[in-house]
Amino acid sequence: MSDTYKAACVQNCATADVAQNIAVTLELTREAAAAGASLICLPEYFSGLETIDGLLHPAAFPEGDHPVLPAFSEEAKKLGAWILLGSLGVKSDDGRIFNRSYLLDASGTVTARYDKIHMFDVNLGAGKVYRESATIAPGSEAVIAQTPWGGLGLSICYDLRFAPLYRTLAQAGASMLAVPAAFTKMTGQAHWHILNRARAIEHGCFVIAPCQYGTLVGGGECYGHSLIIDPWGEVLADGGEGPGVVVADIDPQAVSRARGRIPALEHDRMVLIKGDPKAPGPHAKNAAE
């Protein structure tokens, strides 16, 4: 595992113009590299997102034709940096779209892919209804990417609300958790900082959470406030509500120090539930078994 390094979050407001979004985020990625970042993370759907008839529509292409991948692969190679493409809309052969993260190493090679598992199907009131599953197909597998600095657990946006996913990642060796997002402004104001800090504290992990900001074409607002959080829950960087880059020093040894102080991952125990045998919790075994 390498020594201390710099990680960065890129924060943009995507439009429906994919070429423009790529140009903007490539420039921000170069800015992050110039600030010394070796791991540069971009938000969910940074290359294109709009709202049509109340539904979120990402710019989507088959993986082999996606314009983002060659552009950022070449950039990773030029910069000698690892780049997390927070998520792209990717069309499958059967016509479905996946919300997919890609991790590129410093040679520009894709080293990991992750399809978002949890779909954002919610009713926030005041006419704010979201049905991600109407346009996106869920993934089914958790992913840990191996990096020079340790295991990076991959997740996307709404996944943040499902702590068992992160427990699984941490127990399987993740020391960093990526949470690229386009979190809504309403839910972001209420929950974004709290949930990201909780995931860091619960698992003794760094959390790197780049988030889009601003108003989307067709309606809807993203919260911004891209975060880098240490394993003790301290916010090392906060991107605020505008475009730009935030950078923070990451000391991989801080993970073992935090877990040594509070070894919660070693203290997990099976929970026995008395009651409905049809509805055990995700970490539970029914007492009747």
**Pairing state of beta strands 49-52 and 55-58?**
antiparallel
Residue 247 · residue 234 · CB < 8 Å: no
Q: Is a pLDDT exceeding 90 seen at residue 274?
A: no
- Decide: residue 71, CB within 10 A, 0-12 exposed, 13-18 middle, 19+ buried: middle
Asked whether the predicted pLDDT for residue 265 surpasses 70, the reply is: yes
CATH, residue 49: 3.60.110.10
Per-residue model confidence (pLDDT) at position 289: 42
What pLDDT is stored for residue 193 in this prediction? 98
Percent of the chain exceeding pLDDT 90 equals 81
Structural domain contains residue 286: no
Q: Is the pLDDT of residue 278 over 70?
A: no
Q: Look at the block and give the residue holding tokens 């509070």.
A: 262
Count of positions (residues) in the chain: 289
Q: For the chain, what is the mean pLDDT? A: 93
pLDDT for 144 equals 98
Helix axes 193-203, 163-171, angle to 10 degrees: 30
Let me know if residue 283 belongs to a domain: no
Backbone phi, then psi, for 108, in 5-degree steps?
Answer: 85, 10
Side-chain half-sphere exposure of 184, counting CA atoms within 13 A: 17
Average pLDDT for 136-142: 96
Just list the catalytic residues: 44, 116, 157
**Which tokens go with 60?**
């989507």
Residue for token digits 């809504």?
Answer: 184
Task: Among 129-138, 179-188, 273-282, name the one with the lowest average pLDDT.
Answer: 273-282
Tokens representing 267 are 């203290």
Buried/exposed code over 232-250 (b: 16+ C-beta within 10 A; e: otherwise):
ebebbbbbebebbbbbbeb
Confidence of residue 287 (pLDDT cuts 50, 70, 90): very low
For residue 256, being part of any structural domain is answered with: no
- Whether residue 134 is predicted with pLDDT greater than 90 in this model: the reply is no
Query: In this structure, is residue 267 part of a structural domain?
Result: no
Number of structural domains the chain divides into: 1
Is the pLDDT at 135 greater than 70? The verdict is: yes
Q: What CA–CA distance (Å, rounded) separates 251 from 27?
A: 26
- Amino acid making up residue 285: K
Range from 111-115, 125-129, 134-138 that averages highest in pLDDT = 111-115
Averaged pLDDT, 16-32: 98
Residue 102 within a domain: yes
In this prediction, residues 213-218 reach a mean pLDDT of 94
Is there a domain that residue 184 lies in?
yes
Kindly indicate the confidence band of residue 259, based on its pLDDT and cuts at 50, 70 and 90.
Answer: very high
Q: Quick: pLDDT tens for 171-208.
A: 999 999 999 999 999 999 999 999 999 999 999 999 99
**Average pLDDT in the 247-272 region?**
95
Residue 145 lies in a domain: yes
Amino acid at 254: A
Residue with tokens 């991952």: 265
Which pLDDT value is given to residue 108?
A: 98
C-beta of residue 153 within 8 angstroms of C-beta of residue 177: yes
Q: What is the mean pLDDT of residues 74-85?
A: 98
Evaluate whether residue 277 is within a structural domain.
no
* Domain membership of residue 214 as a residue range: 5-251
